[in-house]
Amino acid sequence: MSETTVDSAPLPPPGATSDPLLRIRGLRKRYGSKTVLNRIDLDVAAHQVVCLIGASGSGKSTLLRCIDLLEEIDDGTIHLGEVELSDPALDADAARRRIGVVFQAYNLFPHLTVLDNITLAPRRVHRKARRDAEAEARELLERFGLADKAAEYPDRLSGGQQQRAAIVRALATEPELLLLDEITSALDPELVGEVLEVVGELKRRGFTIVMATHEMGFARHAADQVCFLEDGVVREHGTAEQIFTDPREPATRRFLARVLDH
C-alpha cells in the first residue's frame, strides 16, 4: 500500500474485512518534533497473522506499543472489536486485559517461579482462583514443552525457554489479540527456530497475531498479511505471497533485496 496523502480520506488497506477484529485509521505518533508513525491504516481479521517488517527504527515496535496503549497517540483511531482503544475516556487497564504482549526482552519476574510468573495476571487482574489459574498454566506449559520447568526460576532457563515462558504468560490471560515484538531478536540463532515453532503452533490454533519481526522466512510462510514500514509510513501492505514475490513499491523491493541478500 502506498503512502496516503495527508489531505485524503484513509482507504481500507488491502485484505481488509468488513468487520476486522483490529482496525487502525490515520494513526500518528510523534516524539517532540519527530513523527515516528504517520497516517497508519491497518485492518487485522480474527485468526489472522500479520507480520510487520522493515528496518530497525521504521516504527514497528512503536505501532505495537500504541495498540497496547503503552504509548499515547497524537491522531487517529484504534478499535479492538467495537471498543475504541484510542478513546481518552477508556479504562486502559480494562482494555489491556483483552491483549497479550510479548517483548524481545522476556520481562519475567526473576524472583518468581515460572508457574508464579504465568499465574500472576490471571490471579491478580482476572481474579481467578489460584487452583484454576495453576491448572490452566500447567496445561499451557505442557503444551509448549515446559511442563518440567514450572518450579524453576527464570535464570535457570535458556533464552528460548524464557521466551516460550513469556509467550505462555501472555496466553494465560486468554487474549483476543496477541502482539509479538521482535521476540527472537535477543536469542542465539539456534534458539530462534524453537520460538518460531511456538508461534506457528499459535497460528494453527487460530490466534490473532500482530508480529514485528526480522525473520523474513517466517513472515513469508506463516503470515496472512505482511505490512512493510519505512520511516513510520506503511509503504506496502498485502499478502505474504504478493509482498515477497511481486512487491509493487520500490522501497519494498530495496528492503527485501538488502535483507534477503544478507
The pLDDT-based confidence of 96 (bands split at 50, 70, 90) is confident
pLDDT one-digit tens code per residue, 130-162: 999 999 999 999 988 999 999 999 999 999 999
User: What pLDDT shows up at residue 18?
Assistant: 53
- What is the mean pLDDT of the segment spanning 15-43? 88
Q: What does the CA dihedral 144, 47, 90, 174 come to, rounded to 10 degrees?
A: -30
User: What pLDDT shows up at residue 190?
Assistant: 81
- Same structural domain, 220 and 260: yes
Worst-scoring range by mean pLDDT, 17-31, 39-53, 65-79?
17-31
- Same structural domain, 123 and 235: no
Q: Which residues contact 54 (CB under 8 A, 6 or more apart)?
A: 60, 228, 229, 230, 255
User: Is residue 10 predicted with pLDDT exceeding 60?
Assistant: no
Residue 227 and residue 234 in contact, taking contact as beta carbons nearer than 8 Å: yes
- Does residue 56 fall inside a structural domain? yes
- Same structural domain, 154 and 94: no
Residue 216 and residue 53 in contact, taking contact as beta carbons nearer than 8 Å: yes
Picking from 175, 202, 228, the residue at the C-terminal end of a domain is: 175
Picking from 147, 175, 203, the residue at the C-terminal end of a domain is: 175
Percent of the chain with pLDDT over 70: 93
- Does residue 104 fall inside a structural domain? no
Q: In what order do the strands lie in the sheet with 177-181?
A: 99-102, 177-181, 209-212, 49-53, 225-230, 233-238
Picking from 160, 175, 190, the residue at the C-terminal end of a domain is: 175
The pLDDT-based confidence of 2 (bands split at 50, 70, 90) is very low
- Same structural domain, 234 and 216: yes
CATH code at 214?
A: 3.40.50.300
Residue 107 and residue 180 in contact, taking contact as beta carbons nearer than 8 Å: no
Residue 52 and residue 227 in contact, taking contact as beta carbons nearer than 8 Å: yes
Report the SS3 class of residue 136.
Answer: helix
pLDDT one-digit tens code per residue, 175-206: 999 999 999 887 888 888 888 999 999 999 99
Picking from 48, 72, 50, the residue whose alpha carbon sits closest to that of residue 60 is: 50
- Rounded to two decimals, what is the model's pTM? 0.88
Q: How many domains does the chain have?
A: 2
Which residues span the domain enclosing 143?
111-175
CA 17, 57, 194, 145 dihedral sign is negative
- Same structural domain, 250 and 145: no
pLDDT one-digit tens code per residue, 231-254: 999 999 999 999 999 999 999 999
- Does residue 103 fall inside a structural domain? no
